[in-house]
Chains A and B, each alone.
Chain A
Amino acid sequence: MKENWNAGNLDTLLLGILRQQSAHGYELIQKLKETSEGVFDLPEGTVYPSLHRLEKSGAISSSWDSTSGRRRRIYEITPNGRAAFQSGKKAWAKYSYSVNMVLGMSS
């Protein structure tokens, strides 16, 4: 389960984190791990290609920051990204509701 969850949803999760605050890659991954209480403990190198793709699609933007003494790429969600996040969130709500119904877990 742990390896399969992210095939279609990693991008939505990344947008979910960036929706709250701009962040660099390492920070994003740590946030994802902390917020999910360790469930989303990804191979860390897998996140950057997703970020680059999200940037090409216009869902996020990025810029270099040197205030920490090292050059660091900071990612920020765009209006398109917020719309994509809402759409991904709705799709997940529908999916999880359906799964809960089948499993008899609906309230």
Chain B
Amino acid sequence: MSDFIDQYLEKIARDLQGPAIESHRTLLETEDHLRLSAADLMKTGLSEDDAQKEAISRFGKAREVAEAHNAEAWGFSLIGTLVALSTKAAELIAMAFVAIGVSAAIAYIVSLFTSVQAVFGLPTTALPSIQTCSYWLSIHPTAANCQQAGTWEAAHDMTWMLGALGIVGLIILALVRGWKQTRFYSIKSLPTTLSSAIATTMFFVAAVALFAFGLSDAVIAGSWGRGMWYSESATALMASIISGFLLLRAIRRPLGMNNSFN
């Protein structure tokens, strides 16, 4: 017979952070509580399975229980806080890289249905140097002029370079996830609300800025193309909406998970 309490404890154990003795205590107390609760519920006529499920439901979601433990398991630690901040910063940067990679893929797909010029077109106001033009034309000898060669060059470079950046982002995210699951990463987590609020703001500001770049057909740090800017803006906006949803979900959790003593 499946033991739902054991499965629930395993879920909590995966997310617990802090000193091992604190985690051990939380797991022991949780198990004792759930077994007592399930036993009481069975007295009311529930089957063992249903009693365990109800006891777990009354206790709370495993992730939220673990987060509440993590928030209390450590006092303030400068090194721990710095490591937590650095880890979160790496995650946010990696997410930004992934968003850039996704936007490059979107821009490439859009260019297949519209035109390379519409997405990656070098603005007519841009005045590349003679050396730059010569370089572009040497790489794209069939281009009719410098403008077209620049556009083709952007289509090639941006798609591949930004796509590669997206893959780097995914690798960083996987590494950070792996690092957080090691026993060496036993530090206090930053609240979900804080990281979600930072991500929401960061992506929203990026979405507005990128949209403005698209409107003005800007050339910034060797990047251009209205379609490219708009693709990046749309991706950043989507990331901001997802982060905002996570923020709202974190805020709407029961207040009891974050009590403070007056």
> Which residues of A pack against B, CB within 8 Å?
3-4, 6-8, 10-12, 24-26, 29, 42-50, 52-54, 56-57, 59, 70-73, 84, 88, 91
Contact = CB atoms under 8 A, between A and B. Distances in A.
A75 B256 CA distance: 19
A49 B259 contact: yes
Contacts of A25: 29, 32-33
29 contacts: A3-B255, A3-B256, A4-B255, A6-B255, A8-B260, A11-B262, A25-B29, A25-B32, A25-B33, A26-B32, A26-B33, A43-B58, A43-B254, A43-B257, A44-B59, A44-B60, A45-B59, A45-B68, A46-B257, A46-B259, A48-B68, A48-B69, A49-B69, A50-B259, A50-B261, A52-B72, A53-B259, A56-B75, A73-B25
A70 B261 contact: no
Contact of B60 (A6, A43, A57, A84): A43
Given A3-B255, A43-B60, A71-B32, A48 B262 contact: no
The interface residues of chain B, by DSSP majority, are classed as helix
The interface residues of chain A, by DSSP majority, are classed as helix
Nearest to A29: B33
Interface residues of B, number: 30
B255 A7 contact: yes
Contacts of A71: 28, 32
Contact of A6 (B32, B71, B75, B256): B256
Contacts of A88: 262
Interface in B237-262: 254-257, 259-262
Contacts of B262: 8, 11-12, 88, 91
Nearest to B62: A45
Interface of B: 22, 25-26, 28-30, 32-33, 35-37, 58-60, 64-65, 68-69, 71-73, 75, 254-257, 259-262
Given A11-B262, A53-B72, A72-B32, 14 more contacts: A3-B256, A10-B259, A43-B254, A43-B257, A45-B64, A45-B65, A46-B259, A48-B29, A48-B30, A48-B33, A52-B72, A56-B72, A70-B35, A73-B32
B254 A46 contact: yes
Contacts of B32: 24-26, 70-73
B37 A73 contact: no
Contacts of A48: 26, 29-30, 33, 68-69
B261 A53 contact: yes
B22 to A, nearest CB: 8
Contacts of B259: 6-8, 10-11, 46, 49-50, 53
B72 A43 contact: no
Given A7-B255, A26-B32, A45-B30, A54 B261 contact: yes
Contacts of B254: 3, 43, 46
Contact of A49 (B33, B71, B75, B255): B71
